[in-house]
Chains A and B, each alone.
Chain A
Amino acid sequence: MTKSIYFPLVELAPGAENNGLAEMIAGLIRQNLEDSPEKMSDFFKLSGRVSIVAEDVEVVLTMEFNRGQLMVHNGIVGIPDVTVRGSSEDIINLSLIEVIPSLGLPDPRGEIFRKVWAATRERRIQVHGALSNLLLMTRLSKVMSVN
């Protein structure tokens, strides 16, 4: 019964069917919400647009969150609140960041966290708009994390 509530909330926009990363992100978030219903409270608070640019594979998508609904678009759609640019490996690593279970926040002691932190310092990952959208990014991290 709960599945019928979760699944319609995450959708691919027309034109995004051939964007493999968009399909992966939509599938990942859908599956995370199904596996971990406690992530739903963060998902329902998410509002805004986040674009991801995987530079080495030239794939771009925009996640449009609207308090309990997510539409994943091909390319940049609208004006993103946050834009993440990086290599495909760095983008994947963002969903692998270790989480402190009791807090649901990234664990700075984690191996992947340190890789992502190094990539950010070296500007291999660039996140535009994160500082002014910290809550959005924190909630998004929780919803996208596979840990």
Chain B
Amino acid sequence: MTYRFPSKEWTEAYRQAVNSNPAYAEAGKDWTHGTVALVVKADPTIGIEKDMAMLLDVHRGVCRSTRYDEAEKVREEAAFVVEAGYDLWREVIDGKLDPTKGMMQGKLRLTKGHLPTMIRYVQSSKQLVASAAQVPTDFLR
């Protein structure tokens, strides 16, 4: 079974993938800094009419819950928000783009959140994103 990206179902499958990743459990074991939102920018050519967000409630190496919602409803409550266009998220999920390198190149943007904390937990962030590669994904293009 595959899950369309982005969607509520994909986001839930992502939660399970995160919780099945022992490297994330280790790297994120001290994370107590709040929720992380991954925002896919609007792209009407593939039916994404508004910016959409996957909100991850991550805490001490566990993803406790997720929510898939319009980004404007999520940006306020998320502690950290990372934004990128659809094709860049696809590269990240496919493992072709390292999220830290993507941020350095200005492809992914941290639009909200405490940057020194993000840097301190760079391995945790990498493992969080690496978990996405384990989700059987059906891309819109």
Contacts and interface: CB of A to CB of B under 8 A. Distances in A.
Interface of A: 18-21, 23-24, 27-28, 31-32, 35, 54, 56-57, 59, 88-89, 91-92, 95-96, 146-147
B104 A21 contact: yes
Contacts, number: 55
B119 A95 contact: yes
A57 B114 contact: no
Q: Give the bracket for the number of chain B residues in contact with chain A.
A: 10 to 19
Nearest to B117: A146
B116 A31 contact: yes
A20 B110 CA distance: 10
Q: Which of B98, B102, B116, B122 has the most CB of A within 10 A?
A: B116
Q: Which of A19, A24, A92 has the most CB of B within 10 A?
A: A24
Contact of A96 (B101, B110, B119): B119
Contacts of B60: none
A146 B107 CA distance: 23
A13 to B, nearest CB: 15
B79 to A, nearest CB: 14
Contact of B116 (A20, A23, A88, A146): A146
